[in-house]
Amino acid sequence: MSIQVFYEGNVQGVGFRWTVRHIAKGFDVTGWVGNLADGRVELQVNGEENEVRAFVAAIGESELRAHIRKQTETELAGPVDARGFEIRS
């Protein structure tokens, strides 16, 4: 499964991307996380459905939850182009 998640709130300048990358190390997923010009953070991730769901849930249960006001998820038609898990932008 491949999904795209947009996080809104106070999600830039708080170590969000680094924390997401650290959380990703505990799951069998590949993908990337990056800041957007409009203040949101974008996550794209691939993996088995149970791993992807557990990873996204772990982000929501981490200390980052205090910074997330809104989370929007979309399933992607094809796999995310990434080797390992990267921080972009």
What residues contact residue 59 under an 8 Å CB cut-off, 6+ apart?
A: 20, 23, 43
Convert the pLDDT of each residue in 42-73 to its tens digit: 999 999 999 999 999 999 999 999 999 999 99
Question: Could you report the per-residue pLDDT of 2-57, keeping only the tens digit for each?
Answer: 999 999 999 999 999 999 999 999 999 999 999 999 999 999 999 999 999 999 99
2-88 CATH fold: Alpha-Beta Plaits (3.30.70)
Answer for the pair 45, 21: CB distance below 8 angstroms, yes or no. Answer: no
**Active-site option among 17, 40, 46, 83:** 17
pTM: 0.95
**Catalytic option among 21, 35, 40, 53:** 35
Q: With beta carbons less than 8 A apart as the criterion, state whether 51 and 68 touch.
A: no
pLDDT score recorded for residue 89: 81
35 included as an active-site residue: yes
